[in-house]
Chain A
Amino acid sequence: MPKHDTPLLDQLESGPWPSFVSDLKRQAEQNPQCWDILGQLELSYVDKITHWKHGGIVGVFGYGGGIVGRYSDVPKQFPGVAHFHTVRVNQPSSKFYNTKVLRQICEIWERRGSGMTNMHGSTGDMVLLGTFTEQLEEIFYELTHDVGVDLGGSGGNLRTPSCCLGKARCEWACYDTAAACHHITNAYQDELHRPAFPYKFKTKFSGCPNDCVAAIARSDLSVIGNWRDNIRINQAEVKGYLKGDYAPSGGAFSGRDWGKFDIQKEVIALCPTGCMWMEGDVLKIDDAECTHCMHCINVMPRALRPGVVTGATILMGAKAPILDGAQMSTLVVPFIKMDMENEFAEYKAIIEKAWDWWMEEGKNRERIGETAQRVGLPAFLKVMEVEPIPQHVKEPRSNPYVFWKDEEVEGGFERSLAEFRKKHPM
């Protein structure tokens, strides 16, 4: 395939940020198909419209998802991208790699695909961008037989789970997010590969409320690490911060002079519940009032640590705006254990309860957050077999349209108008 003129794209080779255009041009030296990627993109820049056709249904035998089909609407002009299917490859938890696996995958992809990738898709998959239909089964065979990796999810199913890097290298992880993500991915391979749900379903695992994988915003079932005892305080290290031995926030704000560290101003006054104070040079926390926002721990990581009775908070229902507005996940279960020892049994009980109900009640292409919204939080909590608690709401309802059940009302709903009229004649 010949080189195309790309005056608009060429402008994106200047500037300090790594240029995807330069990268693609370098790849094109090896695989001329990439000239057509650039060519069609340049045409889109000129026309200000996409040149990919609508949809595309391709895949591998046995699976209902994993590959996103794509066809050019100008295939004669750019035959190299006439087919441009995307292969989603299930990534390892927290995306730790060794070069051997990456080299193996690159070798397959340079031979059978465009050589262009996305490291990684927002859901977490390693994304191999652009290949032809006849290569799909070949790629799948080599990925599974030679590398030992599987496809990720797409369609109305469990999408590829992902997690923060957790205990691998973070002192705040309240459970082993990588182990949980890996175990759950394996446990629900069927749900991941063969779409059986009303719509997509995502789950993400964060080790603490900092939520580095954005579970609360980008997963239908968000698992956010938490603790239920007291924040561990090392008073000697607190004094170290007071003396200026350590930079606050691990030196995250060292790019500008913010003055000397002031624990009163930067920690105590910013605590959202005001449950911290100093007694001399001793830091006190009223843990019963602490909402585990992570701020004090984030500012003084050497002095403060999450508690030791750890697990996770379960929130559900996050989704992007379509159809009825964006949602973040809402709290369902304040605290569960996340133990590899019982194979995350408490988590599985929750996800399976949710699926059983949603697969029956969910309308076509209705995210579970929308189904929950439609039936209302009380009905949703009932199917999740969770007793309503004050923590389930930010504030009580302000309108008085309260539903009661027949059995909750003395005398029930069956009333006689004739009886009423005896006391209140017309």
Chain B
Amino acid sequence: MASIEHNGKSFEVDEDGFLAKGMTEWNEEWVDYVKSIEGITELTEEHRKVIDALQEYYKKNGIAPMVRILSKTTGFPLKRIYELFPSGPGKGACKMAGLPKPTGCV
């Protein structure tokens, strides 16, 4: 496990830069850090909406939502999600929201 320093805070992360302890360690400094590495210039209300939707779904269901459920709950088509998070909903948004790393045949 590597650890990352950002604005005086430190975070435990895996090789792919996902929060090792997930949402328990998640905070605004983390959001700011991920913003700086995931190609996001300005954090908007729309980013917040995606993060909130992911966290809410994860707390309730224990898994990340399928892409089309994320689109439905936020009202953002996939195209918009990529505009907000250039790495996409998995590597970009889930990382920023502090969700565990997507797995399976990726």
Contact = CB atoms under 8 A, between A and B. Distances in A.
Interface stretch (A2-10, A31-39, A51-59, A301-309): A51-59
A124 interface: no
B98 interface: no
B74 to A, nearest CB: 14
Nearest to A83: B15
Interface stretch (B4-12, B52-60, B87-95): B87-95
A196 B78 contact: yes
B78 A68 contact: no
Nearest to B105: A200
Interface residues of B, number: 24
A359 B39 CA distance: 29
Interface residues of A, number: 30
Given A71-B15, A195-B67, A58 B91 contact: yes
Contacts of A55: 101-104, 106
Contacts of A83: 15
Contacts, number: 66
A195 B68 contact: no
B66 A198 contact: yes
Interface string A34-69: 000000000000000000011111110111110011
Contact of A57 (B16, B67, B68, B79): B16
Interface in A53-110: 53-59, 61-65, 68-69, 71, 83
B88 A59 contact: yes
B60 to A, nearest CB: 15
B103 A54 contact: yes
A113 to B, nearest CB: 18
Contact of B101 (A57, A155, A190, A198): A57
Interface of B: 15-16, 18, 39, 63, 66-68, 78-79, 82, 86-91, 95, 101-106
9 contacts: A57-B102, A57-B106, A58-B91, A62-B86, A64-B88, A194-B88, A196-B67, A200-B105, A365-B104
